[in-house]
Amino acid sequence: MARLASDLRLLRVSAGNPTLSRLQSESGVSRTVLSDAFLGRGLPSVRTLASIVQTCGGGPVDPWLERRDALTRLGADHRAPDATREFGGREGVIVATALGVGAVVAMVARGLFAVFGRRRRR
């Protein structure tokens, strides 16, 4: 599935890298759904995939849909684990943000200790 998402991103770039808003207005697919397809967050629906390919001028839609069908048969609807999937919705965003903030605080504290934490000898 990651390869399909990567190829969709390449297709988008080859089409001049249109914004999600532009793609939404031309395809009728929401920006969120488009973003999820480009990032590989789940397998895009037939409608979403066909709309992206047609809007970005990706040639015949059938080969893209065949790839999607093959992934479906393989049960390839696996996403990279992340906090929003683990906890779902708003709670996941809060957890992911807290983890990110905690990591930044730890790095800053370590840097400050490296600069100011050493005692000067007199």
Q: List pLDDT tens digits, range 58-113.
A: 899 999 999 999 998 888 544 444 444 455 556 655 655 666 665 556 556 666 65
Q: Is the pLDDT higher at 3 or at 105?
A: 3
Residue 75 has a CB neighbour count (10 Å cut-off) of 8
Sign of CA dihedral 89, 84, 12, 52: negative
What value does the mean pLDDT take over residues 27-54? 94
What's the fold here for domain 2-74?
A: 434 Repressor (Amino-terminal Domain) (1.10.260)
Domain boundaries, the chain: 2-74, 83-116
- Confidence grade of residue 1 (pLDDT, cut at 50, 70, 90): confident
**Joined tokens for residue 30:** 């929401």
